[in-house]
Structure 1
Amino acid sequence: MILPVITYPNKQLKIRSKEVVNFDELLHRFLDDMYETMITSNGIGLAAIQVANPIRALILCIPDDEGNQTQENLLEIMNPVIHAPQGNVLYQEGCLSVPGFYEDVERYEKLTLHYQNRHGEACMLEADELLAIAIQHEIDHLEGKLFIEKLTYNRRKKFEKEYKKALKEKK
């Protein structure tokens, strides 16, 4: 089932998500719905809070070399914790909750991620490049933060101005 994606400036996006404690059929169906929603929306990641569920769950599906996002490449991540971040990298990010806007954001270049899978099993992942960036972006959602909050004051003002203009054009 395709779930509605909450968009900026909806206050729900500011909610800090709660730990996942039930790794049951309800969670599995929700994760499947998140995947369908993300693929339909042309995203590479989606946090549960973006579809109005404030739990510490996110999914990622980085496209392969041909640009395909197969279910085999899907990462389902519950209760993520970043360890040993290294380096910095600037990357142009977008967000399903801030449609049509892309800005350069500084993130860690590499990291180790500890998390649980859909069955509650402990997992660890070494990530770099786009995967590391996407993990950090989605974890920010779980903390109630959007990528636009990482912008400098001047770039944030520019974003606000462009956003208001885009809203007027839609009307």
Structure 2
Amino acid sequence: MAVQPGHIAHDRRVRVQGEPVDRYPRLAPEVERGEVRRITVVGEEILGRRCQEVTQFGTPELSQLIDDMFATNQAADGAGLAANQIGVDLQLFVWDITDDWGVRHVGHIANPVLDEIAAEDRKLVEEPEGCLSVPGPYRMVARPDRAVVRGLDKDGKPLVIEGRGYFARCLQHETDHLHGHLYLDRLPRKERKSALEEMAAAKDEVFARRAARAQKLGK
């Protein structure tokens, strides 16, 4: 998920894997360890199908993948990134995002499942939404303002993450990715077409910015 335009990161408080921490570096440790990978773009086959479940936990390969996802997300100035966005067919996503109340959320989750939330406990909010795999355009998308996602961490331990506002939108956006859906799929045909046209015009500039950020990170 791309960072929402005008969204300011305050980083006054931090929650890592859903738990509050007293101190946290500006760059997540995973960013330092990871390598930047190429981000897939709308139209590539892997973005249009459901990903496979993660079955091997606690491995160096899974840890490295998560590190690489964090590094790639940072270089792309993203809020969240799913594994199929770097060409890996696994139900896994990462996030590093500051919510509407100035709380920074950092983490990863495998095999995520969104809870069904009763209508009286949430409301639909329409806000601009972008995607790292749709470089450039943002479009208004309606989503519930609360999300609860259940899954596993990299060691196979159960994990429950709750988000509200912008963070809830991120959790839903990334879970959509793992089911083979982009935010474009939620748009009327005319809006989708205009977004793709805007992407075609903007993508080279976006790719250049990402390359510059990666270089600045020493990646």
TM-score band, normalised by shorter chain: 0.7 to 0.9
List per-residue Cα deviations over 1:12-71 (Å, max 9, x = no partner): 211210111111111011101110110011001000000000100000111378x897xx
Written as runs of structure 1 = structure 2, the 5 A alignment for 1:1-171 is 1-23=35-57, 24-63=59-98, 73-85=105-117, 86-165=122-201
Tell me the TM-score normalised to structure 1 length: 0.87
Cα distance in 2 for partners of 1:127, 1:28 equals 24
What displacement does 1:165 show? 4.9
Q: Report if aligned partners of 1:15, 1:54 keep a CA contact under 8 Å in 2.
A: no
Q: Report if aligned partners of 2:130, 2:139 keep a CA contact under 8 Å in 1.
A: yes
List per-residue Cα deviations over 1:74-109 (Å, max 9, x = no partner): 211111111133321112111111101111111111
Q: Report if aligned partners of 1:47, 1:138 keep a CA contact under 8 Å in 2.
A: yes
Q: Show structure 2 runs of 5+ residues with no match.
A: 1-34, 206-219
What RMSD in Å do the two structures reach over aligned CA positions? 2.4
Q: Report if aligned partners of 2:99, 2:165 keep a CA contact under 8 Å in 1.
A: no
What displacement does 1:7 show? 1.1
Relative to structure 1, is the Cα distance of residues 128 and 64 closer, same or farther in structure 2, using a 3 angstrom cutoff?
A: closer
What displacement does 1:146 show? 0.8
Tell me the TM-score normalised to structure 2 length: 0.69
Aligned partner letter, 1:49: N
Cα distance in 2 for partners of 1:64, 1:108 equals 15
Aligned residue pairs, count: 166
Relative to structure 1, is the Cα distance of residues 168 and 110 closer, same or farther in structure 2, using a 3 angstrom cutoff?
A: closer
Relative to structure 1, is the Cα distance of residues 26 and 165 closer, same or farther in structure 2, using a 3 angstrom cutoff?
A: closer
